[in-house]
Structure 1
Amino acid sequence: PGTAVHRGVNRAAGLLGRPLPRVVAALGNGSRVTAQDTVGFTLWVAATHLDDYPAAVETCVRAGGDMDTTAAIAGAVVAAHTGVGTPGGVPEAWLSAREPLPTWLP
């Protein structure tokens, strides 16, 4: 409590339903490469698209900034909610197009 990240998370909740440009102006988009301008934004994206992994990733890309980081964080939250290969989750076509994981990962 009382940190810039905590304030950003609280601000994100108040921005639900607001347009993306307004959210980016208020929270940032990861372009400063700090938790302060990344965490609140990625949680807003996840909450806005909790049942739609592709839309969450697309929103991070449209927002600009540190897109790979914000899409990874928001995507992880959404995938944890929806699952993988399920409706709203990571699309099967995306899974089949990814690089294989290293063999040392179980």
Structure 2
Amino acid sequence: MLAATEAAASAEVTHTHAEGIAGAVAIAVAASHVAGPGPHDIFEAVLDHLTNGLVRQGVEQARKLPAISAQEAAAQLGNGSRITAEDTVPFTLWVAAQHLNDYETAVRTCAAVGGDRDTTAAIVGGIIGARAPSIPSIWRQYREPLPAWFGHDA
């Protein structure tokens, strides 16, 4: 998958640790996968592109979680407090899978559990935002202006 290859190449510049690169690959694959048609098992798509390591272990754990509260999921998977991919990516994939069609709830879920809120919310927003332009209109009204080359509907 091109998304995995490109994510690994770009992450090698900014992440000196293999787990950071694995995290970038996981997020890129998830976003690419949900943007396409068909069933959206985020975990299956991501696990197909991860080698053994802590990020993979966390994603496997996230995949197996039953329907629990976000606080419980964050307690088991991490919420970014340790500022590592293995403490951030599994939870963000779990949130994206739980709220794949509800951008606002997904982002608010990340903010509600604490930890590295801006990072987890940005990751989840990127994944779900790739699926459809689902950002609440009121949020779009208060964002920073985008450059003209980005397009007026962005």
- Deviation by residue 1:32-88 (Cα, 9 ceiling, x = unmatched): 11001000000001001000000001100111000000000011111111x11xxxx
Counterpart among 24, 28, 39 of residue 78 in structure 2: 28
Aligned length: 101
Give the distance between the partners of 2:129 and 2:135, measured in 1 at CA: 7
* Contact preservation (8 Å) 1:16, 1:48: no
> What SS does the aligned partner of 1:98 have?
coil
Q: Read off the aligned partner of 1:28 and give its amino acid letter.
A: G
What does residue range 28-47 of structure 1 map to in structure 2 within 5 Å? 28-47=78-97
> What SS does the aligned partner of 1:100 have?
coil
Amino acid at match of 2:112: R
If you compute each CA radius of gyration, which structure gives the higher value, 1 or 2?
A: 2
Match of 2:101 among 51, 59, 78: 51
Q: Which residue of 2 aligns with 1:91?
A: 136
Tell me the TM-score normalized by structure 2: 0.61
Q: What runs of 5+ residues in structure 2 fail to find an aligned partner?
A: 1-50
Q: Which runs of 5+ in 1 are unaligned?
A: none
- Over the matched positions of the two proteins, sequence identity in percent amounts to 50
2:8 is aligned to none
Deviation for aligned residue 1:21: 2.1
**Could you state the TM-score of these two structures normalised by the residue count of structure 1?**
0.87
Structure whose residues are more often helix by fraction: 2
Q: Does 1:60 align with 2:105?
A: no
